[in-house]
Chain A
Amino acid sequence: EPEVTQTPSHQVTQMGQEVILRCVPISNHLYFYWYRQILGQKVEFLVSFYNNEISEKSEIFDDQFSVERPDGSNFTLKIRSTKLEDSAMYFCASSVRELGEQYFGPGTRLTVT
C-alpha cells in the first residue's frame, strides 16, 4: 500500500542552524501539508501546498519557514535559524484532491539544542 515517507526520523541540530525536513508524498497526490506537534501539545497545521504554491499557512509559518517541491517526488520543509521552541515532531501529509483524506507520514522528530 502506498505511504508517505519522511526522512530523517530524528534530527538533532544546534540553535541557529538551518534544517531541511524531507517528505515523499504518495505518487499521485497533488496536495501537500506540514503539521507539527510540540511534545504534550496539539498537532498544529503549518502549511498547505498545491500546484507549486502555498494554499494556506498558519500564524506559526512565518519567514523562518519555507516549503518546496524541488522535483517530482520530494516535498521539503526548511527551517532557517532554528530556535529551541522549534523542537517538535513534524508530520508531512498528502492528499489526492482538495478536502480529500490526508495521508500522514510517520514524522520527523526535530530536537534543537
Chain B
Amino acid sequence: AQSVTQLGSHVSVSEGALVLLRCNYSSSVPPYLFWYVQYPNQGLQLLLKYTTGATLVKGINGFEAEFKKSETSFHLTKPSAHMSDAAEYFCAVSDNTDKLIFGTGTRLQVFP
C-alpha cells in the first residue's frame, strides 16, 4: 500500500531564502508523485508531478522536485521564496490509478 510522510507541519522562511519541503513515500510499485498547493479558501492546485523519465521535475511558480528512488523521497524546492508562496503544500502518491494518497501537508510561512 502507498503512503506519504511530510516532515514538518510548519516551515518558515524569509523572503528570498531557499524553500525546502520534505516528502518521503512508500510504494510497492513504481509511483506517480505529486505536489499540490492550497491557498486560503481555494482548492488544491497541482504544482508538479513525476510519472516516468527525468527525475528532476519543474513545476509552476519556480518550484521543482527531485525523485530519488534510493531515498524514497520527492522533496519540493524553490531557490528564492516569495511572499505569495505562503500556502499549504501537499505531497501525494498514486499507484498508477486515479486514487491519490496524500500526506498531512506542510504550511509554509514567508516572512519579509
Contact = CB atoms under 8 A, between A and B. Distances in A.
Interface of A: 3-4, 31, 33, 35, 40-45, 48, 55-56, 58, 91, 93, 95, 98-99, 101-107
B50 interface: no
A104 to B, nearest CB: 4
Interface of B: 4, 32, 36, 41-46, 49, 90, 92, 96-105
Given A43-B90, A99-B96, A104 B44 contact: yes
A31 to B, nearest CB: 6
Nearest to A50: B98
A91 B44 contact: yes
B90 A104 contact: no
Q: Which 5 A-B pairs have the closest CB atoms?
A: A104-B43, A43-B102, A104-B44, A45-B99, A106-B43
B98 A55 contact: yes
A101 B45 CA distance: 10
Contacts of A95: 98
